[in-house]
Amino acid sequence: MRTGICRRETKETQVKVIVNLDTHEASKINTGVGFFDHMLTAFAFRAGIYLEIQAEGDLYVDDHHTVEDTGICLGRALAEALGNKNGIARYGTASIPMDEALVHVTMDISGRGLLVYNAKLPSQTVGGFETELVEEFFRALAHNTGITLHVNLAYGSNTHHIIEAMFKSLGVALAQTISQTGSDIAPSTKGVL
């Protein structure tokens, strides 16, 4: 079983993430940020993975530390679950519509964490959630997993729909990248990722 766990404790947050790449059970996610929990649940479902996330943070300040630290911890848990990455497909891409919105996500589990984020969101908040935190989450996730991640908004007018399409696209693309090819070698001409 490909599993990973991360615990992160700071003066601002306490985060625990458990990932199982080979079990598609209902995830258990509680960050204290309702909209974020909804997005993480959609991501895990579309990725076909099990996520257990428990986060407590200084939400009386704002959601920033909780969202970013969850991304850090999720990235580290995913990296641990992937191990040496031998036998994975490595690349994934998804274009997901959510009503009027269309988002493209492409990723490479290359070992080189990088985010390219091309999205101007129409609203600054969704249900009290600051939408600029979406980019912060994706950056923390990409850097700590070692993913080259491209998130591109083609079009859309409803911010909730756009963000949901991003997280669902991320899940579908991740499902492709972590799928096992039957090979036990690294998916690279270098022989290692």
CATH topology of domain 3-178: Ribosomal Protein S5; domain 2 (3.30.230)
One-letter identity of residue 113? G
pLDDT single digits (tens) 112-167 = 999 999 999 999 999 999 999 999 999 999 999 999 999 999 999 999 999 999 99
For the chain, domain boundaries = 3-178
Helix (H, G, I), strand (E, B), or coil: what is residue 18? Answer: strand
Q: How far is CA 16 from CA 13, 44, 83, 101, 124, in A?
A: 10, 16, 19, 32, 28
Mean pLDDT in residue range 67-72:
98
Q: Residue 185: what pLDDT? A: 75
Other C-beta atoms lying within 10 Å of the C-beta of residue 190? 6
pLDDT tens sequence across 3-59: 999 999 999 999 999 999 998 889 999 999 999 999 999 999 999 999 999 999 999
The predicted-structure confidence for 165-190, as pLDDT tens digits, reads as follows 999 999 999 999 999 987 777 667 76
- The residue-averaged pLDDT of 54-65 equals 96
Q: Which of 120, 119, 93, 100 is nearest to 175 (CA)?
A: 93
From the DSSP assignment, how many helices (H) and strands (E) are in the chain?
4, 10
What pLDDT is recorded for position 24?
A: 83
Type of residue numbered 150: H
| pLDDT at residue number 193 | 67
How confident is the model at residue 106, as a pLDDT? 98
Q: What type of residue is 173?
A: A
